[in-house]
Structure 1
Amino acid sequence: MHGSLKRILTGAGFLSLTLVVAVAGYRLSGWSMLDSIYMVVITVFGVGFGEIGPMSPQLRIFTMFVIIAGCTSVGYIFGGFFQMITEGEINRALGARRMTKEIKTLKQHVIICGYGRIGQILARQMIDAKQPFVIIDNNLGRIETAEAMGYLVRLGNATDEGILESAGIENAKVLATVLPDDAANVFITLTARGLNPNLIIMARGEYPSTEKKLRQAGADHVVLPAEIGALRMSHIITHPAALNFLDATVDGSSLNELLSQIDVQVDELAVPSGSPLVGSSISAVQVRGKGTFIVVALRQASGDTIVNPSHEVLLEEGDTVIVMGHKGDIPKFAHHYDLKRQMRWGARG
């Protein structure tokens, strides 16, 4: 783009010089200022009305040079404009092709439907967590803003199966639909669930009555921003001391970092095929841990999550045990029983 602009400026400068020299030449030949300017204009721009004054052989040769110089400079200017347009189109095409190719290589990524206020916050959090993601929005301005941030984007309606497929939904791990339109979120959830039955779907709801519809459509988690805000305000009123403590951690460290300072962390331990823990009860897992951690939740292979599971619950292949304990002991336990650590909170370094 810089080269094309330089070309336009060069052509404009040369054209200006040609016009000045041409007018001066006709003036030196005895023509009036108006006749000189008129002759230069019809000569350079190829109107061809014919000479309007006496033309000596020398003046005819001068006029031919004016024609050549004027046409060349004008052509140079138009060439610069054409180059600028072409470069822009080529760059956009190459950028879209690169983005499409990069999206196709993504695995276990997140798809964010909607780049409004919530979508922007969610995108920043994904960047902080180094989690790959793709943004879908049907607003060109918002998409250009997201693209300027270096995000992978798709312009279009997320209710369209083709748009979701172009965002790599078949290989995605999570889809978050955060549009302010409940009906659109329900339709997106329904469409996404049909395209990827194993996808974790998080949906935004503006009204509490929408939660049931979103879950029926296939949403795993429903977030109601208005309800969260109301709960936050009620907690400020009823539990100000506790909230002051939690808010104080934001300036220095998060609550998870606070846990890490006392060597405590929360970990997700996936139970793979062939693990000796397959068929074991929750109580047996805690016994084998020798008191170094407690089981706080169990996410079953079916996708259901049990908070504070009963000691009699048996582990199955594909389950994920969520435990809390000393951060130095959990990795040893996971290694001993061939468990895959998927996520950590409260651990740094």
Structure 2
Amino acid sequence: MQSSFRKILIGAVFFLITNIIAIFGYWYAGWDILEAVYMVVITIYGVGYGEVRPIETDVMKIFTIGVIVTGCTSAIYVLGGFVQLIAEGELKRVLGVRRMTLGIEKLSNHVIVCGFGRVGRILARELTESGQEFVVIDTDQERLQEAENNGLFVIIGDATEEKILDAAGVKKARVVASVLPNDAANVFITLTVRELNPDVEIIARGESPSTEKKLLRSGATKVVLPAAIGATRIARLITHPSAEELLMGSFTKTSLNEDLDQIGLQINEILIESGSPIADNPLSDFCLGKMNQFVVVAVRHSDESVNRNPEPDYQVQVGDTLIVLAHRSAVPQIREKVARREIYYRGARG
């Protein structure tokens, strides 16, 4: 079915052209402009007060018939477009899209999710729960209708196109997640995003392990292989079922932190800011009281590189982020010790 807005536009243009040609035709026949305009109005709108001047020639009669037919037809076409517009509720949707567009334009430092399939839905749910602002791009109208009904910002279109990414605010975005099930599309999206915003973080999904290098070469910051992750977890469930179930729980229902929380543990990120007593000291000197209730499992540096096995003599630097596995009760104390000058070292207070 043709779009109601397209019907209205075509009908309005045709109606306007008909009026102009009709006025010009009567004027060319020797009528003055006001008489021509008056004749066109009473003819097209069917008022029928009578001709301004007698129409005696066959040419003028045929011309007037043409004005009546084309003018009324175009007017009916426009009216039909308005009826369709109201019947389909398009006016309401257009106003909603306009409000949504204004909302997207105001976003900054947000996330763009390319694809609202199985993985996209899960990602959107997690981002919503964490309070992160984001925009969803997809070509499927029904999927986006579901997302829109849930109050999400959506854009219908192909995420490989620059204009669609621009509409999503890619130049102001913090992260772009390309989670389409098509590796070629994810590579193309990565290339386009990297060209539009050299500084944005791009997290791409890859179905095939061989695609990982292509995505990284295309500009992806990180690549996630769902199939590889799933296979690894299945292997762990087979080889270490007890430990895996204890630490990971139900992969499809809860996050790692939620499962760790069941045994009193949490994974936390602690940023080392200027003035922190931990800065310029080795990790081996950092402890909490007599019983160390935490483990530093990784250190993310200011350049986003990650040391996944930090040595005890590693010198902590300002800007580092410590990835800490700790008892839930110890987390507030750890943050306090990191922020304050008072900190326990092995064998002494400083």
Conserved 8 A contact 1:159-1:188: yes
| Unmatched segments (≥5 aa) in structure 2 | 1-45, 47-77, 341-350
Please say which of residues 330-339 and 261-270 is displaced more in the overlay: 330-339
CA spacing shift, 1:190–1:79, aligned 2, 3 Å: closer
Shift of 1:290: 7.2
Post-superposition shift, 1:185?
A: 0.8
Aligned mates of 2:336, 2:108 — CA distance in 1: 25
Question: Aligned with 1:328: secondary structure?
Answer: helix
* CA deviation vs aligned residue, 1:162-215 (integer Å, no higher than 9, x gap): 322322233433221111221221122223234444433221112111111111
SS at match of 2:210: helix
Q: 1:329 aligns to what SS in structure 2?
A: helix
1:333 aligns with: 334
Mapped to 1, the partners of 2:231 and 2:99 lie a distance apart of: 43
**Shift of residue 249 of structure 1?**
5.8
Equivalent residues, number: 265
C-alpha change, 1:312 and 1:176, in structure 2 (3 Å) is same
Equivalent in the alignment of 2:306:
305
| Matching residue of 1:85 | 85
Match of 2:158, SS?
Answer: coil
Scaled by the length of structure 2, the TM-score of the pair is 0.64
The 2-side partners of 1:289 and 1:169 are apart by 49
Q: 1:276 to 1:159 in 2, by over 3 A?
A: farther
* Counterparts in 2 of 1:237 and 1:285: CA distance versus 1, 3 Å: closer
- How far is 1:337 from its partner? 3.6
Seq. identity, %: 46
Moved over 6 A (4+): 78-81, 250-254, 287-290
Aligned letter for 1:297? A
After superposition, give the CA deviation of every residue in 1:59-105 in whole Å (9 maximum; x if it has no partner): xxxxxxxxxxxxxxxxxxx9898366158343223212211222233
Partner of 2:129: 128
Once the 2 structures are TM-superposed, how far is the Cα of residue 269 of structure 1 from its aligned partner? 0.9
Deviation at 1:155, TM superposition (A): 1.6
User: Helix, strand or coil: the match of 1:153?
Assistant: strand
Instruction: Provide closer, same or farther for how the CA distance between residues 100 and 273 of structure 1 changes in structure 2, counting only shifts above 3 A.
Output: farther
Q: State the partner residue of 1:24.
A: none
Deviations 1:37-57 (A, max 9, x none): xxxxxxxxx9xxxxxxxxxxx
Counterparts in 2 of 1:108 and 1:270: CA distance versus 1, 3 Å: farther
C-alpha change, 1:199 and 1:282, in structure 2 (3 Å) is: farther
Please give the secondary structure, in 1, of the residue aligned with 2:223: strand
Partners of 1:159 and 1:184 within 8 A in 2: yes
From the superposition, tell whether residues 314 and 171 of structure 1 become closer, same or farther in structure 2 (CA, over 3 Å).
farther
- What CA distance in whole angstroms lies between the structure 2 residues aligned with 1:170 and 1:110? 11
Quick one: distance in 2 between partners of 1:236 and 1:275? 41
Separation in structure 1 between the aligned mates of residue 102 and residue 335 of structure 2, nearest angstrom? 36
Tell me the CA shift for residue 314 of structure 1.
Answer: 3.0
For the Cα contact (< 8 Å) 1:286–1:295, is it kept in 2?
Answer: no
Q: Within 2, Cα distance between the matches of 1:165 and 1:260?
A: 40
- On the 8 A contact 2:247/2:260 being kept in 1, the answer is no
Aligned partner of 2:346 in structure 1 is: none
- CA distance in 2 between counterparts of 1:325 and 1:202 reads 28
Query: Counterpart of 2:143?
Result: 142
The amino acid that maps onto 2:167 is S
Contact 1:204–1:225 (Cα < 8 Å) also in 2: yes
Rounded Cα–Cα distance in structure 1 between residues aligned with 2:337 and 2:234:
45
Please, what TM-score do these two structures have when normalized by structure 1? 0.64
Paired residue for 2:220? 219
1:324 aligns with 2:325: yes
The question of 1:279 aligning with 2:266 is answered: no
2:179 counterpart of 1:178? yes
